[in-house]
A and B are shown apart, each in its own frame.
Chain A
Amino acid sequence: MKLTHDQVTHVARLASLSLTPEEEAHFAEELSQILDYVENLNRLMLPPPGLHVGDGVSDPTPLHPDIPRPSVPVEEALSNAPDRSGQFFRVPRILEEGR
């Protein structure tokens, strides 16, 4: 399956990546190869994804009791942040879009 140029730029936009024309061409090729490889799975007779439970593939999801445990200290939580301001993570300004 050959990815079109538009599909590559669309995926790049969703991933917030800006690609050069050379990269676009490169990824169109590379992503297509990956998709072809994954396509092989379709030849296996697998149950539909998601509900394969009790068939030996996986057990039901475990549950945790609703009892809080201490969180990590705020200094530790922020220690890997590229930027911070007081106790907040600081990020480039985003427009008030909400979600």
Chain B
Amino acid sequence: MLRTTLAGLRAHKLRLLLTAVAITLGVGFISGTFVLTDTMDKGVAKTFAKSADKVDFAVLPKSDDPDEGAPAKLLQKVRALPGVTDVHGVVKGDAALVGKDGKGVGDSPTVGMSVASGRLLRYDVDKGRPPSGGGETVLDTKVAKREGYTVGDTVSVLGEKHRVHKFKVVGLVDFGIDQEASFRGAVGFDSATAMLMTGQKTYRELDIAGGNEAAVKAAAGAGYDVYTGEELGARLAKAAGADTKIIQTGLLIFGLVAMLVSALVIYNTFSILIAQRMREMALLRCVGATRRQVFGGVLAESAVVGLVGSLLGLVAGVGLGEGALVAVSRFNAGVAVAGPSLAVRTIVLGLAVGIVVTVLSALLPARAATRVAPVAALRADLEPGSGRFRLGWLRTAIAVLLGAAGLGLGVLGSLVMGKGQNAMFTVAFAGGVFFLAVIAAMPALVRPLGRLAGAVPARLGGVPARLAVANAQRAPRRTATTTIALTVGVGLVSLFAVVAASGKATASSELEEQFPVQFQVRAQDYDGSVPQALTEALRKRPEVTDVVESHRKDTKVGDDDQGEIYTITRSALGKILKPEIKQGTLAAALKPGTAMVDDDTVARSGPGLGETVQVETAHGTVPVKITAVYKAGASLDGIIIPESDFTRYFGAQDPVDIYVKTRDGLPSSQARKAVDEAARPYPAAKVVSSAEFEETLTKAIDMMLMIFGGLLGLAIIIALFGIANTLTLSVVERTRESALLRALGLTKRQLRRMLSVEALVMAVIGAFTGVVLGIGFGWAATNAMASDSVFALPYLQVIGFVVLAGAAGMVAAVMPARRAARTSIVESLAHD
């Protein structure tokens, strides 16, 4: 039996390959993910091993708190140990490099780091030498290149209290192995200067050359961990590897979607193959094959297909991983590029997933094969596809039940439940359930949807198009499975598109309603503040009509040691910043001794309306009564007390944010210039225009959408292969029918067009279903996200998806159509 199966496969190499393509792509993606992340891990591990190699022992404080690092005393103690030749205290904090425009570089301040000289230098010095003494610094190579600095330049770095210090650049260093530094950019000093500049009082780590472990451990004591260089390298690599893990998990989820689509394609292909080989199966049964043998034969065939597909997939995976690596290393130069690493696990997992998915997908078709009666071998040809499909009661029941459950959960999640994560999970689950209902009901939907999708082509395309539309509806089960594979990808993409568009709409409506200012001036670092003097300077500018300050004080609120109290310029409240009051009144919350709080904080079991909280102030603890609850918005959150109270409680404080409203009708470039000029003396003060902010946000969301779209693209490509597959097999099935049409006067071009339109109809059915599902659940997800989210339908994108899917479907039809047109009429008409 096995020999028969293998002979059959050898005879139909093209069919084998076509079936295997779906598996190849899915397995390729999954193994590519592993190759990519393994290679990245290897590169990371190699880099860290190299850098940690230079350290014999490292002492790390057990506490993560930067204030509880290793004190200078400990460093001296360790240095005095016998055998220790050198000790370097690692310092890390904020030290903002000032760019040539006089502003701090980047969105957050650069990292100020200590750089050892001599043996303990862990970073690669690209140019120059390590710094020594108070007047020297080294710059991160990438930052220096971006900002146009090089060795010999004098640069400004902001120290404590944002005071400007001048340094001479003596070297360019690759801080790549330090993630924080590579993300934010870094400036390096010797340890003492680093402490001065960052304001750190202790060391994050002591790197030691020489000495022995026991002595170091004894000197360090209980509050510290001591690692050998090797252990340190492994530890650092592991921490960096966490990133790779996230990438891996993310990619694997998309890989699973691709495999799901592959499974649908394989299932369909095998179903059609079995239906077409009814005679072959019956003949096998005639000559004495048992049901079990027929079943086994089909499964063996699927296993071979799975194996071939998976092997090709592994090859593709190495290529994909390699390609992605090139892209990744372009963004992140810190990762050393190692050769692609194909782990045994990758091979085993890739093959296993590929074969198991294929065999599982072939189970049902194999069972159908066993039901072929031997006498079928002797019957005249069976007509392919009657075009009718009736949902059995079981299928109807399942579809109705799942559909109702999906809708119910969707309504629950989007309308009834409280907004937030749980509601979103409910909606996601509802989407999954409803999709199952669609799968169950799809064969019955093919005819109406086919009529819909085919309406335009049937009217415009003449006879061939009308025949094509009829053909697409001919085998509803087959068309259903073919199209549902496309529905998965298109559905997810349009879901993301809707959520992204809604996110953008929500953000811009929030900005418009609650943030009606043109500019925000904020400190580069989160804890920092903007000098009060800047507010005064801005108020003096004729271009500026309003300046609003926001103050924050970290203090004990109730039982919370890390509480925060906010205030907003009195005159702006209700005029420029208009919080939406949900309980109480704004006026009540402006009286002394009161406060208003946002609803999110209340929901997180914060103080509610009418309650009193104890706030620790400079003059002891005072009671503050909550007299209003407002809706959390773009620029307001937390406990807000009246401005006069704030000053009384905490004394004069620099604002954390300044909002600037410029004169109406002033061109934005002039407005920008005015604000920039006022902020020029303060390098740490960043000016952000709300238009820029919105643009940044939009860009970030678009980027996300593009990445998701790209990753889901694979699932869509697999589904298109499914369409090509189904079409190819249908062409084989209808060889004589096509020949008859050709004999009756259908031109080759009309025949090709007929198949293109059939593919178009199938693709549009799938894409349309996907888009409807995507919009529906995108709406539900948007609703579930937050109470103030705005639903937006990206019309053009959604229409674009359907049009693109249709066009792609027609491309998928090119090969089968050419094949059909090439077939000789006479041979095809010959009676078999």
A and B associate? no
